Structure 1
Amino acid sequence: MLNAAAKPLVKLVERYLPDPYIFVLLLSLLVSAAAVLWQQQSALQVLQYWGDGFWGLLSFSMQMLLVLITGFMLANTPLVKGMLDRLAKLAGSAGQAIVLVTLVSLAASWLNWGFGLVVGALFAKALAKRVKVDYRLLVASAYSGFIVWHGGLAGSIPLTIATANHFSAGQIGVIPTSDTIFAGFNLLLVAALFIAVPLVNYLMLPKAEDSVCIDPAKLRDNAYISNPSDRPADKLENSLVLGLLVGFAGLAYLVQYFVKGGGLNLNIVNFLFLFIAIVLHGTPSRLLHSLQQAIKGGAGIVIQFPFYAGIMAIMLQSGLAQSMSQWFVSFATAETLAFWSFISAGIVNIFVPSGGGQWAVQAPVMLPAALQLGADVSRVAMAVAWGDAWTNLIQPFWALPVLAIAGLKAKDIMGFCLLQLIVTGIIISLVLSFA
């Protein structure tokens, strides 16, 4: 049944979903027009918001580019390649490959969202080299595991409100993660998705004649070829001692960091990937060869993230995001506020694809409403978090690193993700409303 339901969605998306760059251009125009028409902002003022905010995600853009590059370099080491290949041997059929890549991606994303994005995509490639399976669905399955990130250990909203002196502390105090990430309703929701997401992906598996498989030869990386010479510069580039000294120094810092109680964040994940890659590649020349292959997939991140920064600036500064949230809150009750918070967050996330940025927009609306209605504040906060994670399934912003690693376009996977959006939306709504 789900295979039949997925077919028209896949065809619809393949036909009408433009390249993510075109998508972000259209989104920029749509948000600008909405700010003028609904928020009564002048066109010049909206243009000012857009231009001033255009470079607001430069730091984050570099972090995301490094997620892609360092993750690729790590996976391109002989040791990690071997581990992924051995894990891929567990899948003896297309269905097993789909379920396995989904479970690995779910687990990795629950630990850390950056880790999950890279690991899922790289494992999908390893599986595609061994199993004849629809490559579009395989990569879509890897990306679908990303949905649990905001209910996991690196969720930005639950971690923010668990931090002393956060910007809403005067209203709600500090809410421990035992009431959010480790609350019964959230653990139930994560468990339900660990069952439902792999099952839905499995049931969407096309028939053999409809499958779009990929030639494993196209997934092979260019082999490293050493060109030793007597040049002092070449000797440095091929120095195992130099690479290992710097690599182990980085790992020593990480040991010290974690011993002192440091947690996973995007910078630490990138640091971890990079210095493990330096050690496992051994020589600087091997690492640089891997870097040259990795950098090819980063063009989408470089060009598109500034446009999203401009969109976010318009949404935030014009008041458009707050107006959307307030409209949903206006007809909510204590019992339904979590549901409407989830739906509104899902819509706002299309325009503000950043968990932290979205909370800054929606917290001033949702928290007073929760307090006034007597709703569960921690549940409402997690509803916003899940709404943010939910529509990432159809938001190309977060899919770019996965697509770059896999060598696909957004239209190739978003049809499958659209059906996951429908199914997971129902599950999340039910748990938030009744669990």
Structure 2
Amino acid sequence: MVESAKKKKFKVPHTYVILFSVIIIMSILTYVIPAGEFDRVKDEATGRTLVSPDSFHNVEQNPIKPFALVQAVPRGMEDAAQIIFFIFIVGGAFQIITATGTIEAGIGRLAKRLNGKENLMIPIFMVIFGIGGATFGMAEETIVFVPIGIALARALGFDAITGTAMITLGAACGFNSGFMNPFSVGVAQGIAELPLFSGIIMRIIIFVVLLIITAIYIIRYAEKVKKDSSKSVVAELELEERGKIIDLNNVPTMRVHHNIILLTVIAGFAVIITGVFKFDWYILEIGSTFLAMGVISGLIGGLGPSKIAQEFVVGAKSIAFGALVVGVARGILIVMKDGLIIDSIVYGLAKAIQILPKSISVIGMYIVQVIINFFIPSGSGQAAATMPIMVPLSDLLGITRQTAVMAFQFGDGFTNSIIPTSAALMGYLSMGNIPYEKWFKFIWPLMLIWIGTGMAFLVIANAISYGPF
């Protein structure tokens, strides 16, 4: 009995415990890492605020005190309020649409057509969202599509991980290649004084390779789950949600009001995509459109004002755990900013690259960007903070600027799908009710494959002196 107790399986801590532990670790580092800052200057040509590469200086230490540590979580909630409430609105609006029966009827019909060809769904969705990631940097925007992906995946015998992955990792493949992404590659190339979207052929090749690798990874996982549901990383969640899975043998009939609601939803998504592409829409506008879409759909479905309000609360309540995770995770960044250690970390890592042998310095540059991405998960923000340093460093090391931009895009992109400081990751996990530790278990092998693939492409780029065209 004692021996069996000793062999008791280790239980992964709760997601909140993991995140708050990271906050504590970062607060301790504010006592250890010397505080420092770069001067910021405004680029008059673009209006961006960039770091001045030779301006790093130490400043007075500002270690995080115990009470400030406790405040990090509510301050993180405040800082991430826009995304948190966006998630609540999307969850509530989607529940209203679900209550009309349209999702069940529409997804049921689509699933029946795909029955026997389930695996085709994964690459199709990945290509569609991959193009979105590659062209307008689709990240947080995937949140609104996750519930539909999960409903379809479950109807076909897969799980929530499959439905989430085929949408979000498809977008990530596009974002990571970034062949026409103005928010990461575009900003980085502008700082590096390269023609906008130059080197596009290599980036399209990267996009295709990443899509193939990721599609195979997801399909293999999905097939394993379909054969044996206990193999699902979120098997407990799937048992809880069993009653919500669409029965393909008893698919509801698409009635007139279902078709009208479906057209309303399609029109709503078309408005969102147009707004993002043409008018730089973000969380506020997308959330407002989704709320309007939900209310209009509810009225068409005959729910009535009180029922619409009731369903909205049900939907928002069901994703409270995940929505609040975004705020807790933001507390990590709050601690690092207040402790004045982010610039010190960037400076220290950049200096470390200079002492590496020239043959592996490009890999060192890549690894540095991967590490920095934990602290600065914003693509354009990381470009503004690191590229003014990495560009002259690449010139010094004999690495082409285009290769330096590639090191940035890989370092900035890959780990967004695993780091807890990524608002997009925490957002779409909240929509799927997927605990962070479960997602981590699913994604870490793919993350190693992605990072290794990035290294291979960087070695090739360095060998061929990858240039502007």
**Distance in 2 separating the partners of 1:330 and 1:320:** 16
AA paired with 1:62?
Q
Q: In structure 2, do the counterparts of structure 1 residues 40 and 88 end up closer, same or farther at CA, with 3 Å as the change threshold?
A: same
Deviation at 1:145, TM superposition (A): 3.0
Match of 2:170 in 1: 145
Deviation at 1:135, TM superposition (A): 4.4
Match of 2:187 in 1: 160
AA paired with 1:186?
R
1:178 aligns with 2:197: yes
Q: CA RMSD in A?
A: 4.3
**Distance in 2 separating the partners of 1:177 and 1:84:** 40
Deviation at 1:417, TM superposition (A): 0.1
1:34 aligns with 2:29: yes
CA contact (8 A) 1:325 1:365 kept: no
Match of 1:367 in 2: 391
CA contact (8 A) 2:153 2:160 kept: no
Q: In structure 2, do the counterparts of structure 1 residues 39 and 317 end up closer, same or farther at CA, with 3 Å as the change threshold?
A: closer
Q: In structure 2, do the counterparts of structure 1 residues 15 and 134 end up closer, same or farther at CA, with 3 Å as the change threshold?
A: farther
SS at match of 2:279: coil
Greater CA drift, 419-428 or 138-147 = 138-147
Equivalent residues in 2 for 1:329-348, closer than 5 Å: 329-331=353-355, 338-348=362-372
Match of 1:294 in 2: 315
Match of 2:214 in 1: 197
Aligned residue among 48, 69, 75 for 2:89 = 69
| Deviation beyond 6 Å, 4+ runs, structure 1 | 40-44, 48-54
Q: In structure 2, do the counterparts of structure 1 residues 374 and 193 end up closer, same or farther at CA, with 3 Å as the change threshold?
A: same
1:133 aligns with 2:158: yes
**Distance in 2 separating the partners of 1:17 and 1:363:** 37
**Distance in 1 separating the partners of 2:73 and 2:391:** 26
Deviation at 1:260, TM superposition (A): 10
**Distance in 1 separating the partners of 2:189 and 2:111:** 38
**Distance in 2 separating the partners of 1:270 and 1:427:** 36
**Distance in 2 separating the partners of 1:127 and 1:318:** 40
Structure 1 unmatched runs, 5+: 1-13, 222-243
Deviation at 1:123, TM superposition (A): 0.7
What TM-score do the two structures reach when normalised by structure 1? 0.72
**Distance in 1 separating the partners of 2:110 and 2:332:** 36
Deviation at 1:336, TM superposition (A): 5.1
Q: In structure 2, do the counterparts of structure 1 residues 124 and 387 end up closer, same or farther at CA, with 3 Å as the change threshold?
A: same
**Distance in 2 separating the partners of 1:54 and 1:321:** 25
CA contact (8 A) 1:338 1:383 kept: yes
**Distance in 1 separating the partners of 2:74 and 2:343:** 17
1:47 aligns with 2:64: yes
Match of 2:244 in 1: 219
SS at match of 2:224: coil
Deviation at 1:101, TM superposition (A): 5.5
CA contact (8 A) 2:152 2:163 kept: no
**Distance in 2 separating the partners of 1:381 and 1:16:** 40
What TM-score do the two structures reach when normalised by structure 2? 0.67
CA contact (8 A) 1:150 1:386 kept: yes
**Distance in 1 separating the partners of 2:96 and 2:346:** 44
Greater CA drift, 397-406 or 326-335 = 326-335
Match of 2:252 in 1: none
Aligned residue among 150, 174, 192 for 1:124 = 150
Q: How many residues align?
A: 386
Structure 2 unmatched runs, 5+: 1-8, 37-58, 247-260, 462-469
Q: Percent identity?
A: 15
Deviation at 1:419, TM superposition (A): 0.8
